[in-house]
Amino acid sequence: MDQIPTKTLAEIYFKQGDLRRAYEIYKILSEKDPFDPEIQKKLNELDQELNPFHPSAQPLPRSREEKIRFLKRWLAHIRERKKG
């Protein structure tokens, strides 16, 4: 059975840690409704999580805590790429 792309399905994938599938669902929803601010916000957040070094990502962190969060996201991204 094919899945019907919904915000709920995307959120389930997100909560399960499957960020790539959540992103894909939000991308489909964005194409259907490009002016939905909630979808656009989620897409941006997931894009930064999945591509921490993408040009649209935030500037380099300055505080120690920001650096730790940045490096943890970077490490998670590397681990995710190794799985694929």
> What are the CB-based long-range contacts (under 8 Å, 24+) for 57-65?
none
1 occurs within a structural domain: no
Name the pTM for this structure: 0.62
Give the model's pLDDT for residue 67.
80
pLDDT of residue 58: 54
The answer to whether residue 69 is domain-embedded is yes
Confidence category of residue 1, pLDDT binned at 50, 70, 90: very low
pLDDT over 90 (residue 56): no
Range(s) of the domain holding residue 48 = 7-83
Has residue 71 been placed in a domain? yes
Chain segment 61-80, per-residue pLDDT in tens: 578 887 888 788 888 878 88
The answer to the question of residue 2 being in a domain is no
**CATH code, domain carrying 19:** 1.25.40
Number of domains in the chain: 1
Burial 18-51 (b: 16+ CB within 10 A, else e): ebebbbebbeebeeeeeeeeebeebbeebbebbe
Residue among 40, 74, 81 nearest 54 (CA): 74
pLDDT at residue 42, rounded to an integer: 93
Distance CA 84, CA 69 (A): 23
